[in-house]
Amino acid sequence: MTSSLKHIGVLTSGGDAPGMNAAIRAVVRCALHHGLKVTGIPEGYSGLLGGELKPLNSLSVSNIINLGGTFLKSARCMEFYKPEGRTQAAERLEAEGIDALVVIGGDGSFTGAVALSREHKVSVVGIPGTIDNDIYGTDFTIGFDTAINTVQSAIDKIRDTATSHNRLFFIEVMGRDAGYIALYSGIGAGSEEILIPEQSRGLDYLLQSLERSGRAGKTSSIVVVAEGDKSGGVYELAKAVEETLPGYSSKVTVLGHLQRGGSPTCTDRVLASRLGVAAVDTLRDGTSGVMVGLRNNRISLTGLEKACKERPDIDAELIRVSEIVST
Ligand code: F6P
């Protein structure tokens, strides 16, 4: 353990994700368990530049494990992208006596953390929190499980009406430029097709597949489309299908930000608790500049820079499964 570590700052940055509160709670409780002081930094990096810092105790994080969002609030801070912003942040950390920072967020948040640690030697550990599951170095990110369950339940409801009216639904899901939310929720909800950016199957493929389904007797279908898919977007796809296959009545649902909200699943709460404790343990061991993640159900450390730069591969086995079970 590093004897110099006495005071940890924690912040949530980028898009919020269900389970971020559980992660903050774990960071706070683990730090207190080891006699360390913890300060909550509001609204991501912008809170470091001028926000009102909150000393956190065990009670401050009571009754939040079940809550979506982040009680510290989150933001994407443009000033922090500039070196002057990071200098100001480092000076604030020093003035407040904060010797290490835990950053809960996605790759954009980690990019800021890498720059802060490189330029100002600030000790930082990252915790992957994003619904997109697009971070290298962890099998799952905090919030992903809740998001895919939310999407799955929405698709189940849409399927009821799709079946009753013999309709084809295009359902756009989040994920930025990654297809994990689409792939997992599409398999879980039994969708007929899943379009993800990693595959780029295009319109012709979709039209042929829908024609086959029609010939096989299917009267309704669900197509899950990742927002990053490059086939032209859900509205264009629906239009193209109606023009090419007149037998289909198409509808579009964009699920949007409801995917980011809601009470975290047990899986996300446990993941967040494990990663929160691991982040504090890592700093206590004298290690920084890393992200704590879970690989094969074991805590694993990845250099923060690598976690920002690399992208996890989409699981080829899952794609194969989706193709087999959707026919
Ligand atoms: O990264 C999380 C995410 O929800 C993405 O899936 C989505 O593309 C983006 O954030 C939306 O960002 P905003 O809330 O700023 O519109």
174 Cβ inside 6 Å of ligand 1: yes
Residue nearest to atom 10 of ligand 1 (CA): 15
Number of neighbouring beta carbons within 10 Å of residue 93: 23
106 Cβ inside 6 Å of ligand 1: yes
Q: 262's torsion region: left (phi>0), alpha (psi -120 to 50) or beta?
A: left
Q: Give the fold, CATH level 3, of 7-143+264-309.
A: Rossmann fold (3.40.50)
Distance, CA of 166 to CA of 161 (rounded, Å): 8
Distance, CA of 175 to CA of 228 (rounded, Å): 7
Alpha helices in the chain (DSSP H): 20-33, 44-50, 83-96, 107-120, 144-164, 180-188, 202-215, 234-244, 266-284, 304-309, 316-325
Residue nearest to atom 3 of ligand 1 (CA): 15
The full set of domain ranges for the chain reads: 7-143+264-309, 145-260
0.95 exceeded by pTM: yes
What is the best residue among 20, 260, 308 to mutate for testing ligand 1's pocket, by most ligand atoms within 8 Å of CB?
A: 260
Q: Give the fold, CATH level 3, of 145-260.
A: Rossmann fold (3.40.50)
Residue nearest to atom 15 of ligand 1 (CA): 15
Ligand 1 mean position to 169 CA, how many Å? 22
Equal fold, 7-143+264-309 vs 145-260 = yes
Distance, CA of 158 to CA of 228 (rounded, Å): 22
132 Cβ inside 6 Å of ligand 1: yes
What is the best residue among 104, 109, 131, 225 to mutate for testing ligand 1's pocket, by most ligand atoms within 8 Å of CB?
A: 131
What is the atom index within ligand 1 of the atom nearest the CA of 17? 2
Residue nearest to atom 9 of ligand 1 (CA): 176
Residue nearest to atom 7 of ligand 1 (CA): 176
Ligand 1 mean position to 132 CA, how many Å? 8
pLDDT of residue 200: 83
Ligand 1 mean position to 122 CA, how many Å? 28
Q: In what order do the strands lie in the sheet with 221-226?
A: 193-195, 221-226, 167-173, 249-254
Name the nearest CA neighbour of 188 among 162, 225, 155, 166. 155
Measured CA distances, 265 to 19, 23, 182, 184, 226 (Å): 8, 13, 18, 15, 22
108 Cβ inside 6 Å of ligand 1: no
User: What are the mean pLDDT values of the chain's consecutive 10-residue runs (327 residues total)?
Assistant: 83 97 98 98 95 97 98 92 95 97 96 96 98 98 98 98 96 98 98 95 91 91 97 94 90 98 98 99 98 98 97 95 93
pLDDT of residue 3: 60
Taking the CA of residue 34 as centre, how many other CA atoms within 13 Å lie in the half-sphere pointing to its CB? 23
Distance, CA of 268 to CA of 22 (rounded, Å): 8
pLDDT of residue 236: 96
Active-site residue set: 132
CB 172 within 8 A of CB 251: no
